[in-house]
């Protein structure tokens, strides 16, 4: 069984106010070209189809064009997709029963009550059946109706309880499609500026609860990486969506499942974006001279190192580069200024900050009793934030 693993298309996204429509159309056409060439048994999209819960008509048209092009590849390739945290589950679920007849399978919402279960699709190859389980993005509050007597208190518990109630046959081949923030035990995930997470890491999930699947096709993190095991994997985005991703090699992931118990194989195929995202550093004249016809349309982040600030540097850069994301200065003067700011800045916890504010307002330190009350207030706020998730 061979299938493409895609995620985080973020159709409709902008990069520093640049519209990425042409870039996304271009890269999605390349995915279709690979589908025509490699003929996978399925295409899996692990969430964040769109960049906003209410996508623009333009964004919907781009995705429609992609699905239409995939549907024209013969023999027909099933497309399996779930909602991510950027998607509207209800909007993505619209017309899902009609689309099923076109070999497009969508799960926008997680089950809402005890009578509903995860969407499941079974495909078959020469080695037998492969069961794909659809687990859209969830927060603990989303599945309270499923567990009225044992409401999950964390993201970890919510995911593990949802999987446990499926009574999965682990002797068969099973694939999970999920969009959450998974990490391996004690592992620090590689994250990017274009991603969004809960404050305090409340949305982190140890991947131990999903490692029994033969493959876990994950979405959410924009850099391709394993999450605690070789078969539990983020494929990353097709395009670079922030400057922090400038040195990542984006690629198309194709997963091959052999017989039960065989190691999963993951092949990567190069992608060729319409425009790259690059960081350039040096003196203004040096950077201007390095412009070439093949790179002057790239999205670039510029760091100038001239000791004497150049005259209107952005205007000069715009004469040769068409998509400038930002222009920064890094020289002796700016470093000294940053060092001075660092010396003044003092990272304090909420208790310290409020204590200083209290002294400023009241002219005295808080009493031990007042400090105790303040600690209780902060604890209550923390619990309310957890319950709201």
- What is the chain's alpha carbon radius of gyration, rounded to the nearest angstrom? 25
Q: Residue 44's closest CA among 221, 202, 178, 245?
A: 178
Tell me the average pLDDT across 177-199: 82
> What is the percent of the chain where pLDDT is above 70?
93
Contact present, 300 and 321 (Cβ < 8 Å): yes
Domain shared by 208 and 316, yes or no? no
Domain shared by 8 and 78, yes or no? yes
Distance CA 63, CA 94 (A): 14
**Phi, psi of 340, deg, nearest 5:** -65, -40
Contact present, 317 and 301 (Cβ < 8 Å): no
348 falls in which pLDDT band (50, 70, 90)?
Answer: low
- Please give the pLDDT value at position 189: 82
Contact present, 227 and 233 (Cβ < 8 Å): yes
Domain shared by 194 and 265, yes or no? yes
Residues of the chain by 3-state class (helix, strand, coil), percent to 5: 30, 25, 45
Domain shared by 318 and 246, yes or no? no
- Please give the pLDDT value at position 318: 95
Domain shared by 374 and 323, yes or no? no
- Please give the pLDDT value at position 274: 97
The average confidence (pLDDT) of the chain is 91
Provide the 3-class DSSP secondary structure of residue 60.
helix
Distance CA 7, CA 222 (A): 8
Domain shared by 187 and 297, yes or no? no
Residue 61: pLDDT over 90: yes
Residue 185: pLDDT over 60: yes
- Please give the pLDDT value at position 213: 98
Q: Taking the complete model, does pTM exceed 0.75, yes or no?
A: yes
Residue 114: pLDDT over 90: yes
341 falls in which pLDDT band (50, 70, 90)?
Answer: low
Which region among 65-69, 133-137, 377-381 has the lowest average model confidence (pLDDT)?
377-381
Domain shared by 194 and 107, yes or no? yes
Tell me the average pLDDT across 306-315: 91
Burial of 379 (0-12, 13-18, 19+ CB in 10 A): exposed
Q: Tell me the sheet residues that pair with 105.
A: 80
Q: Please report the DSSP string for 221-263 in residue order.
A: -SS-EEEEETTEEE---SS--SGGGTT---EEEEEE--STTSP
Contact present, 253 and 5 (Cβ < 8 Å): yes
**Which of 192-196, 242-246, 334-338 has the largest mean confidence?**
242-246
Domain shared by 363 and 321, yes or no? no
CA distances from 207 to 7, 8, 43, 92, 230 (A): 18, 19, 23, 26, 11
Residue, of 342 and 325, whose pLDDT is higher: 325
- Please give the pLDDT value at position 361: 66
Distance CA 380, CA 231 (A): 40
Domain shared by 281 and 334, yes or no? yes
Domain shared by 327 and 220, yes or no? no
Provide the 3-class DSSP secondary structure of residue 15.
strand
With residue 124 as reference, give the H or E element that holds it. strand 119-125
Task: Let me know how long the chain is.
Answer: 389
89 falls in which pLDDT band (50, 70, 90)?
Answer: very high
Domain shared by 60 and 98, yes or no? yes
Q: Residue 124's closest CA among 206, 42, 197, 64?
A: 42
Range of the domain at 333: 277-340
Residue 199: pLDDT over 60: no
- Please give the pLDDT value at position 379: 77
- Please give the pLDDT value at position 151: 87
Domain shared by 215 and 292, yes or no? no
pLDDT (tens digit, 9 = 90+) per residue, 5-59?
999 999 999 999 999 999 999 999 999 999 999 999 999 999 999 999 999 999 9
Nearest 5°: the CA angle 274, 21, 53 is: 135
CATH number at residue 218: 3.60.21.10
Residue 357: pLDDT over 80: no
Q: Residue 48's closest CA among 8, 3, 89, 1?
A: 8
Sheet of strand 128-135: strand arrangement: 119-125, 128-135, 173-179, 215-219, 232-234, 225-229
191 falls in which pLDDT band (50, 70, 90)?
Answer: confident
**Phi, psi of 70, deg, nearest 5:** -65, -40
Residue, of 354 and 120, whose pLDDT is higher: 120
Count the domains in the chain: 3
- Please give the pLDDT value at position 389: 52
Q: Which residue among 270, 287, 311 closes a domain?
A: 270
- Please give the pLDDT value at position 198: 64
Residue 197: pLDDT over 90: no
Q: Tell me the sheet residues that pair with 4.
A: 43, 254
């Amino acid at each position: 069984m061979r299938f493409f693993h895609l995620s985080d298309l973020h159709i409709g996204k902008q990069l520093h106010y640049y519209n990425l429509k042409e870039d996304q159309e271009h890269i999605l056409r390349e995915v279709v070209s690979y589908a025509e060439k490699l003929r996978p048994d399925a295409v899996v999209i692990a969430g964040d189809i769109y960049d906003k819960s209410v996508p623009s008509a333009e964004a919907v048209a781009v995705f429609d064009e992609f699905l239409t092009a995939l549907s024209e590849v013969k023999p027909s390739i099933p497309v399996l997709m779930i909602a991510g945290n950027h998607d509207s589950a209800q909007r993505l679920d619209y017309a899902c029963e009609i689309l099923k007849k076109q070999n497009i399978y969508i799960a926008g919402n997680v089950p809402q009550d005890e009578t509903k279960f995860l969407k499941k699709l079974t495909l078959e190859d020469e080695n037998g059946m492969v069961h794909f389980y659809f687990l859209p993005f969830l927060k603990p509050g989303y599945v309270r109706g499923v567990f009225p007597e044992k409401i999950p208190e964390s993201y970890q518990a919510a995911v593990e309880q949802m999987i446990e109630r499926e009574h999965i046959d682990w002797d068969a081949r099973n694939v999970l499609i999920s969009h959450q923030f998974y990490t391996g035990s004690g592992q620090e995930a590689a994250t990017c500026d274009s991603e969004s997470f809960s404050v305090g890491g409340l949305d982190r999930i140890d991947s131990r609860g999903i490692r029994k699947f033969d493959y876990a096709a994950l979405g959410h993190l924009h850099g391709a990486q394993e999450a605690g095991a070789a078969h539990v994997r983020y494929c990353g985005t097709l395009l670079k969506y922030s400057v922090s991703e400038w040195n990542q090699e984006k690629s198309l992931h194709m997963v091959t499942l052999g017989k039960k118990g065989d190691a999963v194989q993951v092949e990567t195929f190069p992608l060729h974006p319409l425009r790259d995202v690059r960081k350039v550093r040096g003196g203004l004249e040096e950077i201007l001279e390095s412009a070439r016809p093949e790179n002057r349309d790239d999205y670039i982040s510029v760091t100038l190192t001239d000791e004497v600030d150049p005259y209107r540097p952005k205007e000069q850069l715009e004469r040769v580069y068409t998509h400038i994301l930002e222009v920064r200065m890094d020289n002796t003067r700016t470093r000294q200024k940053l060092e001075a700011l660092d010396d003044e800045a003092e990272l304090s916890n909420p208790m310290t900050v409020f204590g200083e504010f209290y002294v400023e307002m009241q002219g005295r330190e808080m009493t031990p009793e007042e400090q105790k009350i303040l600690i209780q207030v902060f604890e209550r706020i923390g619990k309310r934030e957890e319950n709201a998730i």
